Chain A
Amino acid sequence: MILVQLGLYFALLSLLTFGGLGPVIPEMQRYIVDVKGWMTPGDFMQLFAVAQTVPGPNVLVTSLIGYRVAGVPGSIVALLALCLPTAAIAWAVSGLRERFRESPWRGVIQRALAPLLVGLMFAAGYTIATPHAPDWRLWLIALGTAAGMLTTRVNPVWLLAGGAVLGGILL
């Protein structure tokens, strides 16, 4: 039963994943933690952190969540549910490449999506860094990492490692 719920939810969510998985992170956390109570917000944050060390499409965080909720079957159901509906759409429109290039709607939709995705990415940062009550230590790590990313050209992997070290010292 839990597999069916997991599958249906991620299938619905997949239709909202414009611009990658980041913008839907707050929604995933809301459903899995607040609505279903399948894990604590702290667990969700930790799974998100673990998923960052995986190469490949960032949708794989769904496999981690699925595994936590329902084992190996959960990991497969979550990943397929998140990918297949949009794969079907991609299949259907894959012949439209030529016509799409000329379409004025391309620009209209891209400009409409941009501010939405920016607002949702801020929401994702806030939601992940605030699993329980606001905690200055987590915000310090998050804002420090953001500043590092924006002002230097250092590889993000080192910023994540820095966050891990700070977490070990502060938390």
Chain B
Amino acid sequence: MVRTAGAANRLDSIVPTPPRTLWELFLGFLSIGARSFGGVLPAAHTIMVEKRRWLTPADFVETCALCQILPGPNIGNASIVLGRRWFGISGAVVAFLGLFALPYLWVLTLAMLYMHWGAHPSVSAVVTGAGAAGAGLFIATAVKLGRPIAGKPGALALIAGCFVLVAIARMSLVIVMPIALTVGILFSARGRL
């Protein structure tokens, strides 16, 4: 979400106009779901801040920061938080359904196609190649996120520990996550991360 400071200030000075009806809320989240190739948050920013002006840029960033620290899909959390803020429980339900409606139908169609064609050897080879490329995208993301913290021994130990326990030893994340998070918070609270 790269925005120039000038553009952000200009949008910040505009008084936001929250959605007036549940239908408007539904349509907004429907278009976020439909156009979010390559990342949901940029699409959410385009729709909610730039086009519909439901939120100021600062409000958007704060809502995202809260949702990122919670478990669960960030944008799914944001649909609940914002829907509730504007319309209570019906808003939360409507925003959530709007967000997932089109991607869900798409995924269901793909699932049916895959069941039909997936066993064909050349389809299987192409799909497996795309899967390996997807693995590469995870590795690239890990490298990008890891670079700023790679200078700290505590961070490196946590990175290596999580990798070995989960990928090599194949331990359950239900065990690894609470332990690693506890260690991480202890390190972090003492300024080691």
Contacts and interface: CB of A to CB of B under 8 A. Distances in A.
B76 A113 contact: no
Interface residues of B, dominant DSSP: helix
B149 A115 contact: yes
A118 to B, nearest CB: 4
Size category, B interface: 35 or more
Nearest to A94: B81
A55 B142 contact: no
Looking at chain A's contact residues, is the secondary structure mostly helix, strand, loop, or mixed? Answer: helix
Nearest to B37: A55
Given A116-B184, A150-B143, A97 B63 contact: yes
A114 B80 contact: no
A36 interface: no
Given A20-B73, A145-B136, A146-B140, A68 B100 contact: no
B49 interface: no
A51 B106 CA distance: 10
A55 B35 contact: yes
Interface in A93-125: 93-94, 96-97, 100-101, 106, 108-125
Interface in B124-163: 124-146, 149, 154-156, 158-163
Contacts of A167: 125-132
B132 A150 contact: no
B193 interface: yes
Contacts of B35: 55
B167 interface: yes
Given A93-B66, A115-B184, A50 B127 contact: yes
Interface string B20-64: 000000000000011111101000000000000000000000110
A86 B73 CA distance: 8
B40 A91 contact: no
Given A112-B181, A116-B184, A97 B132 contact: no
A129 interface: yes
Contacts of B160: 119
A121 B138 contact: yes
Interface string B64-105: 011111111111111011001100000010001001101110
Interface string A128-160: 110000000111011111111110000111011
18 contacts: A21-B73, A26-B170, A27-B174, A45-B132, A46-B128, A46-B131, A49-B134, A57-B76, A57-B100, A75-B104, A112-B185, A112-B188, A119-B142, A123-B166, A125-B138, A128-B131, A128-B135, A170-B129
The 9 closest A-B pairs by CB, nearest first: A167-B129, A163-B133, A86-B72, A145-B136, A56-B103, A119-B162, A112-B184, A49-B131, A149-B140
